[in-house]
Amino acid sequence: MAAAIFPGTFDPVTNGHLDLIRRGLGLFDRVVVGVAKRDEKNPLFTHDERMEMMRRATQPLGGVEVREFTGLLVHFANQIGISTIIRGIRAVSDFEYEFQMALMNRRLDGAVETVFLMPSEQYTYLNSTVVKEIARLGGRVSGLVPLEVEQELARRFPLIDAPRAGARGT
């Protein structure tokens, strides 16, 4: 069974992340979403909250497993027996950083390969930092994140209107 890891902090998970997971499922039988525990990044959401939001967001997709990891990604890959990493590339600036990381991961473990995927055009501008900033300043994030994440952001930033369950899908 072909499998890959899609790692990140996912603070919070966006529809762009879900797009890449779906694309990964088109290439691999199974995608393990590795939610990194990186407190030094000062995440808005706790690790447990990020894990739960990712589980809920990926629940409708078959072939996705959500797992936490700390430390080096290559150690996590070895621990779970998967040697392929999926990374998203939105722009040339992403490529430079991701290329360096892929080469370093390969240096640390020559068996690990990185597959770069491009998101749908509608998500090329989207990242978690932008979503948090929009929510923090009272903007609507519908269509950028799953409904459950939008509701969580509304709880954190009361300036935005909380969406109602069943109002729309992801």
136 catalytically annotated = no
Among the listed residues 89, 90, 85, 88, the one whose alpha carbon sits nearest the alpha carbon of residue 106: 85
Per-residue exposure over 91-121, b if at least 16 CB sit within 10 Å of its own CB, e if not: eeebeeebeeebeebeeeeeebebeebebee
* Options 55, 90, 106, 140, the catalytic residue: 90
Active site residue 41: yes
Cβ contact 143:15 at 8 Å = yes
Q: Confirm whether 90 is a catalytic residue.
A: yes
Catalytic pick among 41, 107, 156, 168: 41
Measure the CA–CA gap between 5 and 145, rounded to whole angstroms: 21
Q: Out of 47, 87, 128, 132, which one is annotated catalytic? A: 128
Catalytic residues: 17, 41, 90, 128
